Amino acid sequence: MPFFDFLCEKCGHRFVKRVSNAEKDRVECPECGHPKVKQMLSPFFTPGSHYGPTPSIPDSCAGCGQAGSG
C-alpha cells in the first residue's frame, strides 16, 4: 500500500498514513480525530525514504560576528 500525505482541516496537523486507495477517503486526524483531512501531494514521494515534515533550510550567516557596537 502506498503512503499518503494528509493535512487536517481542523487543527492543521500534517501526517502520513499508509492506506489503500479506497481507505484514503476515510482517514481521520490522529491528533484531534477530525474526519475531514485533505490529501496532500508530496513532490518528495519516495518509498522507503525518511519522511521530513520540515524542509532543511540552509543556515546562512550573513550578519554574524557583529558584536560590541556603539
Closest to Zn ion by CB, 9 or 23: 9
Cell reading at 9: 482541516
Rounded to whole angstroms, how far apart are CA atoms 14 and 34? Answer: 12
Amino acid present at 14: R
Q: Shortest Cβ distance from residue 32 to Zn ion (Å)? A: 3
Site for Zn ion in 14-43 (CB under 5 A): 29, 31-32, 34
Q: Shortest Cβ distance from residue 27 to Zn ion (Å)? A: 11
Q: How does DSSP classify residue 49?
A: S
Is position 6 an interface residue for Zn ion (rule: CB under 5 A)?
no
Is-contact 9 24, C-beta < 8 A? Answer: no
Is position 11 an interface residue for Zn ion (rule: CB under 5 A)?
yes
